[in-house]
Structure 1
Amino acid sequence: MSQLDALRQFTTVVADTGDFRQIAQYLPQDATTNPSLILKAVQMPEYAPLLKATVVQRRGRPLDEVMDRLLVRFGCEILALVPGRVSTEVDARLSFDTEATVTRAERIIELYQAEGVDISRVLIKIAATWEGIEAARRLEQRGIHTNLTLMFSLCQAVACGQAKVQLVSPFVGRIYDWYKKQAGASWDEAAMAGANDPGVRSVRAIYAHYKRFGIATEVMGASFRNLGQITALAGCDLLTIAPDLLGQLAASEAPLERALAPEAVQALDLPALHYDEAGFRFALNEDAMATEKLAEGIRAFVADTLKLESLMQKAAA
C-alpha cells in the first residue's frame, strides 16, 4: 500500500493546485486554489485559452467581476474531477473589509449557482484577519461555508471556532520557513523534523483545541515543504497537498501510522480560550511569526492578483 492510500484511511486528501489536469490521477476528495496557483496555471499553454475565452466573453465588464468569473471557471473544471468541494478565494485586497468580503463572497456563490453548482460544494477562502473572520461568521449564518486561510496562530483558530467557520487552513510550511530563517546557521533540520517541526506543532495545537472542546470546525493542514510534515499530521481532518508531494506519497510504500486522533486529546489539560476583538489583536501582535507571515501572505496574494489582472487586460486587448 502506498503512503497516499494509507493516509486516506484516516485523513481526507485534498489537492492544492490550479492545474486541474493534474488532479484526477491522485483521486483527491476536495481541491483548493488561491490567486498564486491560478496565476501559475493560466501561464501554462493548456490553460491560456481558458483565460482568453473568459476575458473575451466579459469584455467591457469591471475587472473584479471578470476575475471572479475566471476563478469560478477554474472551480467548475475542478469540481468535474473531484467528488467533494473546491475552495475559491476572495480578493486579498479585501482582507480588512468585512462588508466588501461578504459582498464578494456572495457574488462568487451566485456565479457558481448560475453554473448549476450546489453551494455545499464551495468553500469561500478568506484571510484569517479579524475582519475576515467576522465576514466568515456572517456568511456561515447565511449557509455559505468558508475556509479561513493564512492561519499561523492558535488565536486565529480560536476566533474561527467561535465564528463557527467550516474549515481552517493552518500553513505548516510557512511557519517552518519563518523559524528556519530566524535560526539561521543554528537551525538543526533533523532535530526540528516530524513532530518537532514548528509548523506541525502549530497544527497539532489547533487540532487538540478543537477536538478537546468539541469545536466542529475542520482542520486542514496546508503549505507543506516535505513529506515528513505530512506524515507527522496523518489523522488531521484534511490535508491539502501540492501535486509533486502527492506524487511522492503515491510512490512511497514506507509505513505510515496515524499521528493525530480525537480521542488522544480528550485527557489533555488545555485552557478554554475566547477572544474578543481587542484580545485577538493583542494575541496576534504578541506572536511575531504569525503577524509577519499573515501580512506577508496577504501582500503576496495581492501581488499575484495584480499580475493576474494584468494578464487578463492583455488577453482582452
Structure 2
Amino acid sequence: MNQLDQLKAYTTVVADTGNFKQLAQYAPRDATTNPSLILKAVQQPDYAPLLKETVAAHRQLPLPEVVDQVLVRFGLEILKVVPGRVSTEVDARLSFDTAATIARAHHLMGLYEAAGIGRDRVLIKIASTWEGIQAARVLEREGIHCNLTLLFSFCQAVACGEANVKLISPFVGRIYDWYKKQAGAAWDEAAMAGANDPGVKSVTQIFNHYKKFDIATEVMGASFRNTGQILALAGCDLLTISPDLLAQLQGSEAPLSPALDAADARLLDLHPVIYNEASFRFALNEDAMATEKLAEGIRLFAADAAKLDKLIQEASHG
C-alpha cells in the first residue's frame, strides 16, 4: 500500500491547490485554496476560459464582488471533485478589520448558498490575527464555519480554540524556512528533521493541547516542504498537501505509522492557557518567527490578491 493510502487511515487528507483538474487522482476529502493558488491557476490555459466566462457574466458588479464570484466559481468546481469541504479565503487586505471580514465572509457564503451549496461544505479562510479570530467567533455563532490560516504560534491556536473556530491551519514549512534561514550555515538538516523539525514541533504542541483540553477545533497541518514533515504529523486531524507532495506519497511504499495520538495527548501533564487581547498581542510579539511570518504571509497574500484584481479588471475590459 502506498504512503498516501496509509496516511488516509490516520489522517484526513486535503489537497492544497486551485487546480481542480488535478485533484481526482489523489482522492482527497477536502481542498483548500488561497489567493496565490487561484492566481496561479487562472494564469494556466486550462483555467483562463473559466476566468473569462465568470468575469463576463458579472462585469457590471464592483470589483471586489467580481473577485468573490471568481473565487466561488473555483470552489464550486472543486466541490464537484471532492466529497467534503472547500476553503475559500477572505481578502488578506481585510486581515485587521473584523467588521469587513465578517461582511466579506457573508458575501462568499451567500454566493455558495445561491449555488445550492450548504454551509457544511464551505470553510471561510481568515488570517489568524486578533481581528480575524474575533470575526471567526461571530461567524461560527452564525453557523458559518472558518479555517484560520497563517497560524504560526501557540497563542494564535489557543485564541482560535477559545473562539470555537471550526478548523485551524498551523503552518509547518514556513516555520521551518524561518529557523533554517536564521541558522544559516549552522543548520543541520538531519538533526532538524522529523519530530525535531521546528514546524512539526509547533503543530504537535497545538494538537496535544487541543486533545488534552477537549478543544473541538480541528487541527490541519499546512505548508509542507517535504514528505518527512507530513509523515512526522501522521495522526493529525487533517493535513493539507500540495499535488507535488501527494504524488511523492503516492509513489512510495515505505511503511507509515501515526506520530500523533489523541489518547496519548490526554495523558500529558499540560496546563490550561487563556489569552485576552493584550496577552495575545504580547505573546505574539514575543515570538519573532510568528510575528515576521504572519506579517509576511499577509503581505504576500495581499500582493497576490491585488494581482488577481488586475487580471480580473483586464478580463472585464477585454
Same fold (TM over 0.5): yes
Tell me by how many angstroms 1:56 deviates: 1.0
Amino acid at match of 1:105: A
Amino acid at match of 1:276: N
Secondary structure at the aligned position of 2:88 is classed as: strand
- Residue matched to 1:188: 188
Distance 1:169 1:20 in 2: 20
Task: Specify the alignment match of 1:54 in structure 2.
Answer: 54
Q: Name the SS of the counterpart of 2:13 in structure 1.
A: strand
Residue 234 of structure 2 corresponds to residue 234 of structure 1: yes
Which residue does the alignment assign to 2:89? Answer: 89
Amino acid in the other structure paired with 2:33: T
3-state secondary structure, aligned to 1:182? helix
Partner of 2:177: 177
Report SS of the residue matched to 2:273. Answer: coil
For 2:148, the equivalent position in structure 1 comes to 148
Matched, 1:201 2:204: no
Alpha-carbon deviations, 1:86-121, whole Å to 9, x = none?
000000000000000001001100000010001110
Partners of 2:87 and 2:280 lie apart in 1 by 25
Distance across 2 between alignment mates of 1:316 and 1:66: 9
In structure 2, what is the equivalent of residue 264 of structure 1?
264
Per-residue deviation, 1:266: 1.4
- Structure 2 length normalisation: TM-score? 0.99
Q: Residues 106-185 of structure 1: matches in 2 within 5 Å?
A: 106-185=106-185
CA deviation after TM superposition for structure 1 residue 60, in Å: 2.5
Q: CA deviation at 1:270?
A: 1.1
The alignment yields a C-alpha RMSD, in angstroms, of: 0.5
1:268 offset after TM fit, Å? Answer: 1.1
User: AA paired with 2:143?
Assistant: G
Amino acid at match of 1:167: L
Is residue 2:24 matched to residue 1:24?
Answer: yes
Number of residue-to-residue matches in the alignment: 317
Q: Does 1:216 align with 2:207?
A: no
Question: 1:107 & 1:269 partners in 2: Cα distance?
Answer: 43
Shift of residue 285, structure 1, vs aligned partner? 0.2
* Inter-partner Cα distance in structure 2 for 1:288 and 1:233: 24
1:17 CA displacement: 0.0
Any runs of at least 4 consecutive aligned residues in structure 1 with deviations exceeding 3 A, and if so which?
none
Report the AA paired with residue 68 of structure 1: D
2:245 is aligned to 245
Structure 1 portions without partners, runs of 5+: none
Q: Distance in 1 between matches of 2:215 and 2:265?
A: 13
How far apart in 1 are the matches of 2:5 and 2:61?
45
Q: Give, as a single letter, the amino acid of the residue that structure 2 aligns with 1:115.
A: A
The secondary structure found in structure 2 opposite 1:306 is: helix
User: Who is 1:307 aligned against?
Assistant: 307
CA distance in 2: counterparts of 1:264 and 1:146, whole angstroms: 27
SS of the residue 2:14 aligns to: strand
Q: SS at 1:265's partner residue?
A: helix
For 2:37, the equivalent position in structure 1 comes to 37
- Give the Cα–Cα distance (whole angstroms) in 1 for the partners of residues 281 and 84 of structure 2: 34
* CA–CA distance in structure 2, aligned partners of residues 59 and 125 of structure 1: 25
Distance in 1 (CA, whole Å) between partners of 2:251 and 2:148 is 31
Paired AA for residue 182 in structure 1:
Q
Gaps of 5+ in 2: none
The residue type paired with residue 260 of structure 2 is L
Give yes or no for the alignment of 1:283 onto 2:317: no
Q: 1:296: which partner in 2?
A: 296
Looking at structure 2, the residues matched to 267 and 160 of structure 1 have their Cα atoms a distance apart, in angstroms, of 23
